[in-house]
Amino acid sequence: HNLLETDVEQVSQLSSFVDSLLQYHRQATQILEEVTEKLTARVNDAQSRPRREFRPKPRQSFDYGEESNGGYSPSPTSPPAFSTAEASCKALYDFEPENEGELGFQEGDIITLVSRIDENWFEGKLRGQSGYFPTNYVEVVVPLQH
């Protein structure tokens, strides 16, 4: 009689364990489906963007002419010109959003500044998306007007 009660208890615990496993795997499947959707959206976004062309930086020239006496004379380089007076910044690093409402970007992206949230966060727009990002990931090109 005692053995039968133990069997029922073991089967009951096994059933509970299997239910827990099933719930775990359902949640894991849901998470993986969401990740797959986000990755597919990123791939589509990346494919729709024009590819950046590689342009080597101009080499510095060494002038060995008589007038320079063999000294180094760097070629003049002009800073990049931005035709817009719109407040903007340049991404110094890639930023992957970790929370809802954050704006992700890649190093070198030019982001339109909307506002300064506080000393650590900006709000900006990039490729039709808007959100928040840390100020230390960017270099301000055209400052916000107060």
Q: What is the DSSP string of 84-98?
A: --S-EEEESS-B---
* Ramachandran assignment for 91, one of left (phi > 0), alpha (psi -120 to 50 degrees), beta (any other): beta
Average pLDDT over residues 83-98: 87
Cross-strand pairs, 131: 124
Q: pLDDT higher for 146 or 18?
A: 18
**What amino acid is encoded at 64 in this protein?**
Y
3-state secondary structure of 80: coil
Cross-strand pairs, 123: 115, 132
Q: How many CB atoms lie within 10 A of CB 79?
A: 6
pLDDT at residue 36 in the model: 94
Domains of the chain: which residue ranges? 1-49, 88-142
Q: How does residue 43 score in pLDDT terms, banded at 50, 70 and 90? A: confident
* Mean pLDDT value across the chain: 82
Q: How does residue 85 score in pLDDT terms, banded at 50, 70 and 90? A: confident
pLDDT at residue 111 in the model: 96
Model pTM score = 0.43
Task: Give Cα 20 distance to the centre of its chain.
Answer: 36
Burial class (CB in 10 A: 0-12, 13-18, 19+), 89: buried
The per-residue pLDDT for range 3-42, each reduced to its tens digit, is 566 788 888 888 999 999 999 999 999 999 999 999 999 8
Do residues 137 and 113 touch, judged by C-beta distance below 8 A?
Answer: no
Average pLDDT over residues 106-117: 95
88-142 homologous superfamily:
SH3 Domains (2.30.30.40)
Average pLDDT over residues 81-94: 80
Q: Is the pLDDT of residue 66 over 90?
A: no
Do residues 129 and 114 touch, judged by C-beta distance below 8 A?
Answer: no
